[in-house]
Amino acid sequence: MRIVTFSVYGDSRLGLFTDKGVVDLARACSKYSSGGLSTLFSDTRAFLKGGEFAMKLAREIGDAAHDERPSASAKEAGTLVKSDRVRLLAPILDPQKIYCAAVNYVSHGAETGTTPPKVPYIFTKFANALVGLDAPIIHPTAVKKMDIEAELAVVIGKRGKDIPPGRAFSHIAGYTCANDISFRDLQYDPGWPKVVDPYGQNWTKGKGLDTACPLGPWIVTRDEVGDPYPLKIVGRQNGQVIQEGSTKEMVHNVQKLVSYVSEGVTLEPGDVVSTGVPARVQGIERKYLSVGDTVEVEIERIGVLRNKVVAE
């Protein structure tokens, strides 16, 4: 299943993206199942908290709604709406936690001259950074070196703490595309790499500004993706491939990352773990993002996340 958060009736709704259109899960539940269960589909976190029962119900009512004639407009308020009539938002709007892994690809470590960490190196982003498909990415006036990082993100589906790597997959609801927008002149000391700030990189400021975490276009459920190794990852700037790699290059795999971030911390349904970026394509001139640029993250078996850079 492809789980989406979308806007079509003036508010955000939870749905399934299908070849015929977007199924409004709450409306479809009221029509094809018990109306009292529609609260399971009030938003992504509520849905994921419903566990396997909610997943099974979503499949059943999604199949039933799929036989409908798609609504041509929001005014018809059908349970199946033509996909070109909806606006996809970030597939989860309010995660409690967004974790990101630094230097988690062998190729990225070689590119930056950085030895990959023996244990995962984690920084965080916040919900203010989240935007969805085709939403604008703001280019701050004061920033000169704005960059993209194409990444596979994991969405947690089951609550857990101190999760062993061998049980990590059972806590994963699915996967999505992430773009770790980075502001290098805020992240690094002005003299870097020759001059290193004794306090380290400014991860929060350099990674956490508004719209700095495009996510989407949907969450593809774990059963549909299957084995996440290998998945091809591509990052594009104005149509040119600038980053390319495979999840098999991960230094610390998905299971290890989920296990590590759960040490001493309770992961909740809807939490996000972004797994790091592969290296830039050799021989491609590095061009930081400018207003008007279009950036894309494409991941095999998941989809394409596209955004445009706009002036602040």
How many CB atoms neighbour CB 253 within 10 A?
17
Render pLDDT for 88-125 as a digit per residue (tens, 0 to 9): 999 999 999 999 999 999 875 556 666 778 999 999 99
Q: What's the CATH code, domain 98-311?
A: 3.90.850.10
Residue ranges of the chain that CATH labels 3.90.850.10? 98-311
Q: Residue 207's closest CA among 127, 94, 142, 129?
A: 129
* pLDDT tens digits along 277-302: 998 887 788 899 999 999 999 999 99
pTM of the complete model: 0.94
